[in-house]
Amino acid sequence: MGQEIEEIIVTARKQEESLQNAPVAVSVATGELLESMGSADLSAIGQFAPNVQFETGQPTSGIRAPTIYIRGMGQDDFIIVEDGAVGVYLDGVYVGRTVGSVFDLVDVERVEVLR
């Protein structure tokens, strides 16, 4: 008897569904994968998600600010009054500014990247 592949459940459309049935391009990294990669924060998403670039810089405030590009769309300007072209959500809550949003990955179930 062959081994079964583990079903991956995503919440890309605000409801739980199998990754195979999701009608959007989704890359998923489980907490175990991120831990095995030695990832301590969100900057690791560029290593597992195609067409994603994640770089961190030091703006004048000294807080780590990510520059995130998905399929060439992104924002490299740290203007506090503008939302970036790439949205970041933490536990379903929109993080409106990129400055300070390089979250440490502590007790993470999964990271989903929607393109």
- The amino acid present at 88, given as its one-letter code, is V
Q: Determine contact, residues 10/29, Cβ cutoff 8 Å.
A: no
Instruction: Give the contacts of 17 (CB within 8 A, at least 6 positions apart).
Output: 9, 10, 11
Judged by DSSP in three states, 9 sits in strand
pTM above 0.75, yes or no: no
pLDDT in tens, the chain (115 residues): 567 777 888 887 777 888 888 888 888 888 888 888 887 777 777 788 888 888 776 655 555 667 788 888 887 666 667 777 888 888 888 877 766 666 676 778 888 888 8
Q: Any idea where the domains of the chain sit in the sequence?
A: 9-114
Question: If one looks up domain 9-114 in CATH, what number appears?
Answer: 2.170.130
